[in-house]
Amino acid sequence: MMLGYAESVKLLKKYNIGHPNAVLIKNADNFKKSLRFPVVLKVDSPDVVHKSDIGLVFTGLRNPADVRKSAKAAVKVLNSKKISNYRLIVQEQLKGVELIVGMKRDETFGPVIVFGIGGVLVEIMSDVSMRIAPLTKQDCLEMIEEIKGRKLLNGYRNLPKVDKKSLVKLLLAISKMSLKEKKISEIDFNPVIAAGKNILVADARIVKNA
Residue-wise pLDDT tens digits, 120-164: 656 656 789 999 999 999 999 999 999 998 988 988 777 789 999
**Single pTM value for the model:** 0.92
Go through 178-205 and write b for each residue having 16 or more CB atoms within 10 A of its CB, e for each that does not: beebeebbbbbbbbbbbbeebbbbbbbb
pLDDT at 65 over 60: yes
Which 3 state secondary structure label does DSSP give 191?
Answer: strand
Residues 181-198 pLDDT 10s: 999 999 999 999 999 999
Give the DSSP letter of residue 18: -
